[in-house]
Structure 1
Amino acid sequence: MNKKLFVLLVVLMSLSLIGIIFVQSYFINRSLENERQQFSLSVKRALSFVSKQIEDYEYRNYRDKIQSYLYNNKEPDSSAVQRLVVAFEDDDNDQTIIHRNIILEERFKIPSLFFEIDADSTDFSKYTNERITEVYKKSSLDKGSFERVSQIREIDDMEDEAKSFLYRETFKDFISSVDYPLYKRISPELIKVFIEKNLKNEGIEIDFEYAIYDNDLSTKIRTENFEKSLNTYGVPVFLDNNNESSYDLLVDFPGRNKFLISTILWMIILSIIFTSVIIIAYSSAIYQLIKQRQISQIKTDFINNMTHEFKTPIATINLALDSIRNPKIIDDKEKVLRYLGMIKDENKRMHAQVENVLRISKLEKNELNISKERLKLHDLIEDAVTHVQLIIEDRKGYIKLHLNADKSSVLANETHFTNVIVNILDNAIKYSDGAPKIDVYTENVANNILLKISDKGNGMSKQVQKRVFEKFYREHTGNVHNVKGHGLGLAYVKQIVDDHQGYISVESEKGKGSTFTVRLPLIS
């Protein structure tokens, strides 16, 4: 895939994912805001019902106390009469209909002790309604006589609605004119019952705190933990005849936010689950794309490196074969043997490279049988050094051994672990532009032995250090192939060390060399 197209696809997919997350967040916020508004409306509606219930409760108490007193009282202190007379002429039936509505107001003085206020007495009124409907012959009225056809007479208290209105108005005027303690008008427990019932009717069943304030000053009617906050709602209570009041019922919901979130919790959970699935799938897809791209690039580099490394041996073998076929050389036994030796060496070199690939493959599939035995690590180090000693001397370098470990017995495979040390030494030689300068150290740490191989070569960057043990990985050097290899040596080293229950790491600085550290468990 073209690099620009790959980057474009990643950018578009990322923007789409960010857009999905943003849209999800937006709708969740909108839903939460709608729930918050609905909650506020429900609370305000419930509190308005509470205010009305408080007023009705107080009025019923007033009416119940007053009614028995008024109707048992024999003589009013004063009375007043209001009359309404309506006459209707019915010519077709020769009738005149006269309706009289008489309202009698009787005033009584009731001792104030009855209401526990500081006054001698209080005036209250009782209303009686008398309705008379009389039907006369119209012709008899014209002649000056009163011939009554029928009469309907009703005497009772005023209509319930009118009576209730008058009593309620009277009560409001009375209660606003006296200094009646608030805690005697209604109990805190009853207010709590009213609030709970009306909130439940609105579908709100959470804990709350409440208080009644008088001109922003707290009264005795309040819960212990009430505090004003952003979640406090209020409604006026004990309204007078002008629908005004200095009292406010305030209700606070400490757990409002949790309650609101719980109403859309299923939506949040599903959104998180689905979004997480999308993110995981997206991340996995991107990872696989990048991994496949890296593998493709690594394979390409591997093929190029292998081709480059096979090209020289093949060319050398061809030249050697052509030389042997030359009539002038074929009779020269010394030269023929020399060319045959070159062919054998180059063939061994290609065979070793193929073996490296096969060994890594078998290690990953756990098909490589590695038998271990008790060995001295110092002996393996000395054996490995002999493999590269001639190359070191040819390049005018040195290998210094500092075998300071008192104990060096390990459980290891002689061939493979020798190859591990040779590979590390070979890397130190290859990545030294000048004469290789290598120091080998051993030391005992607890129940382990540490093997450190330090060089003063080219070193490597932090990024390269993180990936140096990956299969096929080689540091990019452009098109310059001054260091031969195919990125399998150190991958093989790590596989073998891991199989020996060991640990390998590298410390390096660009231009100052590298130190490979191998830790192996000792055996007694």
Structure 2
Amino acid sequence: MNKKIFVLLVVLMSLSLIGIIFVQSFFINRSLENERQQFTLNVKRALSYVSKQIDDYEYRNYLDNIQPFLKNNKQPDSTSVQRLFVAFEDKENDQTIVHQNIILEERFKVPSLFFEIDADSTDFSNYINEKSTEVFRNSSVDNGSVERISRVREFDDMSDDAKNFLQRGAFKSLISAYNYPIYKRVSPELIENFVKKNLEEQGIQINFEYAIYDNDLSTKIRTDNFEKTENSYGVPIFLDNNNESSFNLWVDFPARNRFLISTILWMIVLSIIFTTVIIVAYTSAIYQLIQQRQISQIKTDFINNMTHEFKTPIATINLALDSIKNPKIIDNKERVLRYLGMIKEENKRMHAQVENVLRISKLEKNELNISKERLKLHDIVEDAMTHIQLLVEDRKGYLKLHLNAAKSSILANETHFTNVIVNIFDNAIKYSDDAPKIDVYSENIGNNILLKISDQGNGMSKQVQKKVFEKFYREHSGNVHNVKGHGLGLAYVKRIIDDHQGHISVESEKGKGSTFIIRLPLIS
């Protein structure tokens, strides 16, 4: 795939994923806002019902208290006027409340009392039951005069709507004139029950705090933890005949946000799950694409290197064969043997390269049979040293052993582990521009033996160190590999050491050489 097309696809897929996440977030926020608006609407509806219920409760309570005194079961005659007086003294407010019931026979029209009623259209005839409630100030009695604060009149024998309208309006006027304390008009338990019941009817079942305020001042009717905030909901209560009131019931929901989120929790959870799946799948796909591109590039490099490595020995073999066929050479036994030796060496070289590839393939398929026996690691290192000693000396370098470990017995395969050490030595030689200088150290740490192979070659960067044991990986210098190879040696080394329950790592710095550290378990 073309690099530009690949980058374009990655960018488009990334933008699409970001767009999907943005759209989901938008719809979740919109749903949350809708739930918030619906919550507000339901709370306000519930509180309006609470306000009406409080008024109804207070009015019914008032009627229940004075009803025994206002009832009269006698039938009035045509001339008599029967009166019933009941007085209540309110010392706290320095007032006296007088209820009286008057039954009289008369035909007349009732004027408007405390609110507008059409007197010409409201006709009450025959027996009229006039009920009145008057409030007097007690201090005025001491001065020899009686000061009436208010008077409320009610009339029976009229239509139910008119009667209820008159009575309720009269009651509101009485309460307004009387200035009854709020804590005597309603109890905290009653407020809590009304609010809880109406909220549940609106589908809101969460904890709440409430308080009644009088002109922005808190009253005794409140919960201990109430705090008035911008998210609190208020409704006027105890409305007068002009639908005005100084009292407001405020309700606050400390867990409102959690409640709102819980209403769309299933949507949030599913969105998170699906988005996570998409992100994981997308990331995995991108990773696989990048890996495939890298593998493709590595395989291309591998084929190029392998072709180059095979091209040289094949060319050498062809030249040797052509030389042998020369009549002047074929009779020269010494030169024929020399060319045959070259053909054999080049053939061995190609065979070794093929074996490297096959060993890695078999290791990956777990088809490589590795039999192990008790061996001395020091003996293996010394044997591996003999394989590359001539190469080191030819480049005027050195390989020194510092084998200080007291114990070096391990369970290993001699052939494969010798190849491991030889591969590391070979890398140290190939990646040293100057004369190779290699030092080998060993030491015992607990039940393990530590083998360190250090060189003073080119070294490698941190990025290369992370990938140096990967199959086919080789460090690039521009577009050309400075050192011939297939990137299989260290991959083979790691697989063999892993199979021996060991561990290999590398410490290196660019331009200052590398140190390969092998840790293997000892056997007693």
Q: TM-score range by the shorter chain?
A: 0.7 to 0.9
Could you tell me how far 1:230 is from its partner in structure 2? 4.1
Alpha-carbon distance in structure 2 between the residues aligned to 1:316 and 1:109 = 132
Could you tell me how far 1:330 is from its partner in structure 2? 1.4
CA 1:456/1:15 → structure 2, altered by over 3 Å: closer, same or farther?
A: same
1:8 corresponds to? 8
Does the 8 A contact of 2:150 with 2:174 survive in 1?
no
Alpha-carbon distance in structure 2 between the residues aligned to 1:487 and 1:516 = 16
Alpha-carbon distance in structure 2 between the residues aligned to 1:66 and 1:479 = 107
Does the 8 A contact of 1:83 with 1:100 survive in 2?
no
Please identify, of 69-78 and 453-462, the stretch whose mean Cα deviation from structure 2 is larger: 69-78
Alpha-carbon distance in structure 2 between the residues aligned to 1:439 and 1:433 = 17
Does the 8 A contact of 1:400 with 1:440 survive in 2?
yes
RMSD between aligned residues: 2.5
Q: Is 1:293–2:302 an aligned residue pair?
A: no
Alpha-carbon distance in structure 1 between the residues aligned to 2:502 and 2:35 = 60
Code of the residue aligned with 1:267 in structure 2: it is: M
In the TM superposition, 1:115-154 aligns within 5 A as 125-128=152-155
1:39 corresponds to? 39
Code of the residue aligned with 1:440 in structure 2: it is: V
TM-score by length of 2: 0.87
Could you tell me how far 1:512 is from its partner in structure 2? 1.0
Deviations 1:145-180 (A, max 9, x none): xxxxxxxxxxx5222222222222222222222342
Does the 8 A contact of 1:317 with 1:346 survive in 2?
yes
Alpha-carbon distance in structure 2 between the residues aligned to 1:437 and 1:120 = 122
Does the 8 A contact of 1:504 with 1:519 survive in 2?
yes
2:87 corresponds to? none
Deviations 1:154-213 (A, max 9, x none): xx5222222222222222222222342212111111111111111111111111111112
In the TM superposition, 1:314-333 aligns within 5 A as 314-333=314-333
Does the 8 A contact of 1:70 with 1:126 survive in 2?
no
1:67 corresponds to? 67
Alpha-carbon distance in structure 1 between the residues aligned to 2:292 and 2:442 = 40
Does the 8 A contact of 2:228 with 2:252 survive in 1?
yes
1:250 corresponds to? 250
CA 1:100/1:406 → structure 2, altered by over 3 Å: closer, same or farther?
A: closer
Alpha-carbon distance in structure 2 between the residues aligned to 1:228 and 1:172 = 28
In the TM superposition, 1:366-515 aligns within 5 A as 366-515=366-515
In the TM superposition, 1:275-314 aligns within 5 A as 275-314=275-314
Identity of aligned residues (%): 77
CA 1:441/1:35 → structure 2, altered by over 3 Å: closer, same or farther?
A: same
1:92 corresponds to? none
Does the 8 A contact of 2:433 with 2:458 survive in 1?
yes
Please identify, of 359-368 and 178-187, the stretch whose mean Cα deviation from structure 2 is larger: 178-187
Alpha-carbon distance in structure 1 between the residues aligned to 2:234 and 2:45 = 11
1:270 corresponds to? 270
Alpha-carbon distance in structure 1 between the residues aligned to 2:209 and 2:133 = 42
Alpha-carbon distance in structure 2 between the residues aligned to 1:507 and 1:415 = 26
Alpha-carbon distance in structure 2 between the residues aligned to 1:367 and 1:180 = 98
Code of the residue aligned with 2:427 in structure 1: it is: N
Code of the residue aligned with 1:101 in structure 2: it is: D
2:96 corresponds to? none
SS of match in other structure, 1:473:
coil
TM-score by length of 1: 0.87
Does the 8 A contact of 1:109 with 1:122 survive in 2?
no
- Number of positions where the alignment pairs a residue of Structure 1 with one of Structure 2: 480
In the TM superposition, 1:105-116 aligns within 5 A as 106=130, 108=132
1:260 corresponds to? 260
1:197 corresponds to? 197
CA 1:40/1:211 → structure 2, altered by over 3 Å: closer, same or farther?
A: same
In the TM superposition, 1:74-223 aligns within 5 A as 74-75=83-84, 83-84=108-109, 101-102=123-124, 106=130, 108=132, 125-128=152-155, 157-223=157-223
SS of match in other structure, 1:407:
coil
Deviations 1:103-161 (A, max 9, x none): 76846456889xxxxx9988654544xxxxxxxxxxxxxxxxxxxxxxxxxxx522222
CA 1:69/1:121 → structure 2, altered by over 3 Å: closer, same or farther?
A: farther
CA 1:479/1:33 → structure 2, altered by over 3 Å: closer, same or farther?
A: closer
Does the 8 A contact of 1:70 with 1:108 survive in 2?
no
Could you tell me how far 1:376 is from its partner in structure 2? 0.9
Alpha-carbon distance in structure 1 between the residues aligned to 2:122 and 2:286 = 95
Does the 8 A contact of 1:436 with 1:455 survive in 2?
yes
Please identify, of 244-253 and 103-112, the stretch whose mean Cα deviation from structure 2 is larger: 103-112
CA 1:248/1:109 → structure 2, altered by over 3 Å: closer, same or farther?
A: closer
Does the 8 A contact of 1:106 with 1:125 survive in 2?
no
Alpha-carbon distance in structure 1 between the residues aligned to 2:23 and 2:330 = 83
Could you tell me how far 1:460 is from its partner in structure 2? 1.0
Code of the residue aligned with 2:497 in structure 1: it is: V
CA 1:395/1:184 → structure 2, altered by over 3 Å: closer, same or farther?
A: same
Code of the residue aligned with 1:26 in structure 2: it is: F
Does the 8 A contact of 1:127 with 1:157 survive in 2?
no
Please identify, of 502-511 and 275-284, the stretch whose mean Cα deviation from structure 2 is larger: 275-284
